[in-house]
Amino acid sequence: MKKNQILCAACGAALIGAATVACNDSARKNPFLEPYTTPYEIPPFDKITYDDYLPALEAGIAQHQAQIDSIVANPETPTFENTILALDRSGEILDKVVAVFSNLDESNSSPEMVEIAEKFYPMLSQHSDQTSMNERLFERVKYLYDHPELGYAKDQRRMIEETYKDFTRNGALLDDAAKEQLMAINSELTDLYLQFNKNLLNATNSFEIVVEDSTRLAGLPASSIAVAAEEAAKRNLGEGKWVFTLHAPSRLPLLQYADDRDLRREMYQGYTTLASSGQYDNNPVISKILIARAKKAALLGYENFGAYMTDKVMAKTVDAAQNLLMQIWRPAVKKVAEEVAEMQAVVDENGGGFSIEPWDYYYYAEKVRQKKYDLDESKVREYFALDSVRNGIFSMAERLYGVKFTEMPDAPKYYDEVTVYDVTDAATGEHVAVFMTDYFPRESKRQGAWMSEFKGSWLNDDGTSSRPVIFNVGNFSRPTADAPALLTLDEVETMFHEFGHGLHGMLSRARYKGQSGTNVDRDFVELPSQIHEHWALEPELLKTYARHYKTGEVIPDELIAKLQASATHNQGFATAELAGAALLDLEFGKLNTTDSVDVAAFESRVAQQLGMPSQLTFRYRAPYFKHVFGSDGYASGYYTYLWAEVLDTDGFELFKEKGIFDPATAKAFKENVLEKGGSEDPMVLYVNFRGHEPSVDALLRNRGLEPVPAIDLKPKSGK
């Protein structure tokens, strides 16, 4: 059951006291079992030890169970307040410990965390199952669901409906024997996700390319060479050696700039075979996940796992998602053919004597960019120091939404590279949120970039708002001895993207925690993140933050013009690998299998059916497709990035029409999207902002692809 808890204070006092006594035996108190006394209730990271997690989880589960028992024992007729709201406000301890452990497990893991996780997540999964299958609790929820005439407000009625659906999707309607089967499947999946993530992290960290001949570094930016030298020194390999890893700031510049074709091939093959064989092979794990998911879907009455996952979001069906993707896939593949022809011409002009292979794509795409637009991204990076880009995102937020960011140097943080900000209303000084940033790669952090929260937001009974603690995590290019962190254009867009998620969490004004911030349909959650990417290279904002890291010179108009002219460069590749991965994910979701799956062969069949160009592959192959197999969060849901892009490109066209900082348009987006969270149907929220439903045409225009007939995005009736 999807559950976001808030404490009902009276329910857990005795349990907190009992747990505190246990802690006193070791002469200290568990930080999770007491109110945080830190500024704005930031977790007291410096006081939390490994030994605190499991006892706090046990206390949190006990407290939450007592609160649920209190709800179901209430002799009064069910009401929103004594059932739905009470459930939404339950589990303060559980909220606190889960938020800290699950987030640090992703961003600052360790062998100790891995060991704790093997007990932590199964315990949490078992408790979640017991809650979602609690018959007496479900009876109260069902009573409210069956009586719409009770006349609750829109957000309350939606919360009743969503809570009912969560219960039924998690087995509330099953008989006892089927519930036991479902709990066993969920437990198995929890263990499999843990194994997948462990394998992926270990496989990523175990891969390295050691270069001992400096001539092989030809073409690489000085910053990339410096980072590789520092990595070699960190590994005690001595002078005259350079180490490249699979982390994006190391991998991507090598693929884009290294003249040594064999070096590019080694990196590409290392990445695309990640966790695919040997000690950390994820293929057997994926096969077991697919079998377990098929069993789960069948048990709950769905045709397949894809149908189960899409039923709860805007798309409603796998067919609707595939319909959208194919309208994007076909023009993208056509564009890839044009891009490859341009790259092959460069190869031939220089007497290369070979055909473009996948490890050539980034490299020759950059050569074509330089030739067509006289644009060298390694030079462009000099205007995008990380601190400058951070100034840009903060300036955007202040101009659009009237919020300011002030650093809190003494605030608690979970790692020394984290920066913490107090977010306030620029006009009144009112506290809005806490925002943290954690931007550089390390072995303890998984790949990618994301937003999450250590504390959500909600409205208290007295009308005051409890404000959130939000953070962004990235794996961006590190500073070197000679230069600050200089970001690629892709990293700049990623920073704006994750900040958009952050704004969704920070600016939420939804009344209930279960509807606040990013607690929205999965295929709507990417709208706030993706729409804010558009501001990154808009001249009106760009000229306020993009400055040369050495001279302080504002980015020149000539360079801005080149950036705009090349905006759709290589979009065939970018779109095809993204849409391809989304289509692969949906095909995995349609599998109904009780037998072991040859994952690589399945991928090959899907690629062949799609007509995947030989010069590229899926953005993520299954063994490192963490979105899909590291949990079920984005399973049969990776398409949502493109679904949401239909919304964000259409929405940004309104900003372009009215002015990218037009106060009325910004106010409409803030009030109808960012503040509302999941309190209303997402398409209603979008139409309230935009004035109409979107079509795929704006996405294709934005990516420089040929338009195709419009897609109907109205939710279709599903199971």
pLDDT tens digit string along 484-508?
Answer: 999 999 999 999 999 999 999 999 9
Separation of alpha carbons 229 and 231, rounded Å: 5
The yes-or-no verdict on residue 20 having pLDDT over 60 is no
CB-CB contact of 299 with 174 (8 Å):
yes
CB-CB contact of 16 with 59 (8 Å):
yes
CB-CB contact of 536 with 505 (8 Å):
no
Q: Tell me what the mean pLDDT of segment 270-287 comes to.
A: 97
The yes-or-no verdict on residue 15 having pLDDT over 70 is no
One fold for 9-173 and 381-565 = yes
The H or E element spanning position 465 is strand 465-466
Choice among 391-400, 495-504, 698-707 with the minimum mean pLDDT: 698-707
Separation of alpha carbons 223 and 171, rounded Å: 53
Separation of alpha carbons 519 and 501, rounded Å: 11
Can you name the CATH fold of 9-173?
Answer: Neurolysin; domain 3 (1.10.1370)
Q: How confident is the model at residue 9 (pLDDT cuts 50, 70, 90)?
A: very low
DSSP three-state, residue 421: strand
Residue 670, C-beta contacts closer than 8 angstroms, at least 6 positions apart = 400, 401, 507
Q: What is the DSSP letter of 554?
A: B
Within 143-289, strands assigned E span 209-211, 242-244
Global pTM reads 0.87
- What was the pLDDT predicted at 472? 98
Strand partners, 471: 436, 452
Q: Using one digit for the tens of pLDDT, what is the confidence trace for 195-228?
A: 999 999 999 999 999 999 999 999 999 989 999 9
Catalytic residues: 498
Residue 198, C-beta contacts closer than 8 angstroms, at least 6 positions apart = 114
- Residue 486: φ, ψ to 5°: -105, 120
Q: How confident is the model at residue 14 (pLDDT cuts 50, 70, 90)?
A: very low
Strand partners, 438: 473
Reference 396, options 426, 420, 417, 418; nearest CA is 426
Reference 42, options 4, 82, 96, 107; nearest CA is 96
Reference 511, options 678, 318, 309, 716; nearest CA is 678
| AA letter at 429 | G
Reference 649, options 595, 581, 585, 575; nearest CA is 575
Q: How confident is the model at residue 27 (pLDDT cuts 50, 70, 90)?
A: low
Q: How confident is the model at residue 429 (pLDDT cuts 50, 70, 90)?
A: very high
Question: And the tokens for 367?
Answer: 């050569």
- What was the pLDDT predicted at 481? 87
Q: Using one digit for the tens of pLDDT, what is the confidence trace for 76-104?
A: 999 999 999 999 999 999 999 999 999 99
Q: Which residues of 523-549 are buried (b: 16+ CB within 10 A; e: fewer)?
A: bbbbbbbbbbbbbbbbeebbebbbbbb
CB-CB contact of 16 with 33 (8 Å):
yes
Three-state SS sequence of 164-179: HHHHHHCCCCCCHHHH
Q: Spell out the domain ranges in the chain.
A: 9-173, 207-274, 381-565
Separation of alpha carbons 653 and 281, rounded Å: 45
- What was the pLDDT predicted at 707? 65
Reference 63, options 1, 26, 18; nearest CA is 18
Reference 189, options 90, 121, 247; nearest CA is 121
CB-CB contact of 260 with 558 (8 Å):
no
Torsion of the alpha carbons at 428, 531, 316 and 334, rounded to the nearest 10: 180
- Taking domain 381-565, whether its CATH number is 1.10.1370.40 is answered by yes
Torsion of the alpha carbons at 344, 345, 348 and 353, rounded to the nearest 10: 10
Q: How confident is the model at residue 22 (pLDDT cuts 50, 70, 90)?
A: very low
DSSP three-state, residue 710: coil
Reference 361, options 381, 375, 347, 374; nearest CA is 347
Q: How confident is the model at residue 523 (pLDDT cuts 50, 70, 90)?
A: confident
- What was the pLDDT predicted at 368? 96
Number of Cβ within 10 Å of residue 36's Cβ equals 18
Residue the block writes with tokens 């194994």: 195
